[in-house]
Chains A and B, each alone.
Chain A
Amino acid sequence: MAETTATTPIKLPKKEVQKACWRFVFFSHCGQNFERMMGMAFTHMMVPILKILYKDPEEYKKGLKRHMQFFNTEPNLGSIIPGIAIALEEERANGKPISEEMIAGTKNALMGPFAGLGDSIIVGTYMPILLSIALGLSEDGSPMGAIFYIVTWLGSILAMRYWLFMTGYNLGLSAAKTVLQKGLTSSVTRALNVVGLMTIGGVSASFVKFPIAFAYQSGEMTIQLQSIFDKIMPRMMPLVLVLTVYSLIVKKGWSVNKVILGLLAFVSAMTFLGIM
């Protein structure tokens, strides 16, 4: 427990918490490395906070050391964790029974789940949805799609990071419980998944190509292989290609490099035969 000489409780000004939030937004990955990942970024974000909370130099030093430890999460959704950590530090500074281990343990316990959630919801689903819409808008070379992505991604994610950070701070540990509630996240994940799968399906229809050059010529008549496939179903072959690559990777366990080499061999053979 912290030794507090102050009789009046220390309350962090809202402005300081907001500043910490922006420090984390800007600097979360600056010194990222294999040994501690974002550990130093966490300390960077905490320094001014610890300075306010701990007037005792020994407590301040202990605070610096406990945040230099390994920390790694998905920074967008995981922005709730530093908020929670600040709330815990504030309570500790005010003499509440919060041990050093509890602060470190909380960070360690939350970083994994939020990394998993963030990677699958934000980076794995939300970002591809925005990018697919953007690709659709930029299909003809117009800059609209790129601008759309910049505005929607930055706008929504920065707002979310700020909101999650402040929510983490305001609610402390109960915030994590709310977000990690199984029902809520699984239905959000599923809804985003449906939207993601459909838009991505649509974009792959316009971006994956399976160009067949082969044409059979007999007197006046030419039969183009491509147009036959198109008559069965428009853009059928690219779909076959995507599903084939998918099953090679998932069912056969092929690495991406192997798929690329396989495609290279396939295309070379097809070109040689005059089909593609």
Chain B
Amino acid sequence: MSILQAVLIGIFGYLGAKRTPWFFGVTGGWNTIGRPLVAGLIIGIILGDVKGGILAGAAVQAMYIGLVTPGGALPADINLAAFIGIPLALVSGGGPDYAVTLAVPLSFLGIVIFNFLMSFNAVFVHRGDKYAEEGNGDAIIKTHISATIPTFLIRFTVIFAACYFGAPAAQALTTAMPEWLGHIFIVLGRMLPAIGFALLLRQSLTDKKMIVYFLAGYVIIASFNITILSLAILASLFAVMDMMYGKEAA
């Protein structure tokens, strides 16, 4: 990977983090650029392998599809998982399943960084308190904007360094890895998305009986050759019926 490519991935990694204002704040950053599928597209473009990037991004995305980050409680840092896991999987030639397996330890490393920043940033608040006491609103705005600097420094540096210096290591590792170990990685990578869907089920199933809808969706796609978009339309019809007949029964 060239320096320029690693720098670009580092910058987009920063843009896809929380606490960046650039692209519609959280909505365009953390919730858009930071999603592994979108990250996969961006990384694919940077590394000149759009298809590989998308495939790896989609695999990592499936694993984290059920991840909600309420408040500051972050179960896994998707940002590092995506912006280090996907590029390393691409340059090492390990493929999408490799990206998923790689994403897991990275997401834990990310939590350390996330929690550090969430604690460190209180420094800015105390300065803000002082300016509020002085009645200096403009200084509060400046302080608040400067609070994005630590996020940039840490995210960019970690992602850049991991991509630039980690690429040869990841490559060497994949070639040196015994075949059976590589096989375990691949199989595990294919099964791990089950966790993402299980987590999503846990939060969506406030009413346990609703699992019939999940099963219906599963069986329809597994048995018939229809697209997800058709399924979504079908699902909307089910939702309308649920509302019409649900009321009657109640």
Contacts and interface: CB of A to CB of B under 8 A. Distances in A.
A34 B32 contact: no
Contacts of B120: 33
B77 to A, nearest CB: 13
B33 to A, nearest CB: 9
Nearest to B129: A68
A194 B242 contact: yes
A18 to B, nearest CB: 15
Interface stretch (A3-11, A21-29, A98-106): A21-29
Contact of B239 (A60, A128, A145, A195): A195
B27 A157 contact: yes
A276 B19 CA distance: 43
A173 interface: no
A201 B145 CA distance: 41
Nearest to B151: A30
B3 interface: no
B2 interface: no
Given A47-B140, A191-B243, A276-B187, A246 B231 contact: no
Interface stretch (B86-94, B156-164, B221-229): B221-229
Interface of A: 25-37, 39-41, 43-44, 47-48, 50-51, 57-58, 60-61, 64-65, 68, 72, 74-76, 115, 119-120, 123-125, 127-129, 131-139, 141-143, 145-147, 149-150, 153-154, 157-158, 161, 187, 190-211, 233-236, 238-239, 241-242, 245-246, 249-250, 256, 259-260, 263-264, 267-268, 270-271, 276
Given A31-B121, A65-B133, A207-B193, A141 B54 contact: yes
Contact of A200 (B190, B217, B222, B242): B217
B153 to A, nearest CB: 14
A190 B195 CA distance: 23
B204 A43 contact: no
Given A44-B140, A60-B137, A204-B197, A27 B191 contact: no
B236 A195 contact: yes
A203 B62 contact: yes
A211 B219 CA distance: 18
Q: Give the interface SS of chain A, mostly helix, strand, loop or mixed.
A: helix
Interface stretch (B5-13, B166-174, B207-215): B207-215
B201 interface: yes
Given A37-B72, A124-B203, A260-B104, 18 more contacts: A32-B121, A33-B121, A41-B144, A43-B144, A76-B31, A131-B61, A135-B62, A146-B54, A149-B35, A154-B27, A199-B231, A201-B216, A201-B219, A203-B65, A208-B62, A239-B218, A246-B198, A246-B202
Contacts of A26: 21-22, 24-25
Interface string B124-147: 110011011111011011011101
B184 A271 contact: yes
B54 A138 contact: yes
B197 A202 contact: no
B112 interface: no
B106 interface: no
A28 B48 CA distance: 34
Contacts of B46: none
Q: Which of A60, A145, A146 has the most B CB atoms < 10 Å from its CB?
A: A146
B197 A208 contact: yes
Task: Give 5 closest A-B pairs by Cβ, nearest first.
Answer: A136-B228, A201-B217, A31-B147, A33-B121, A198-B217
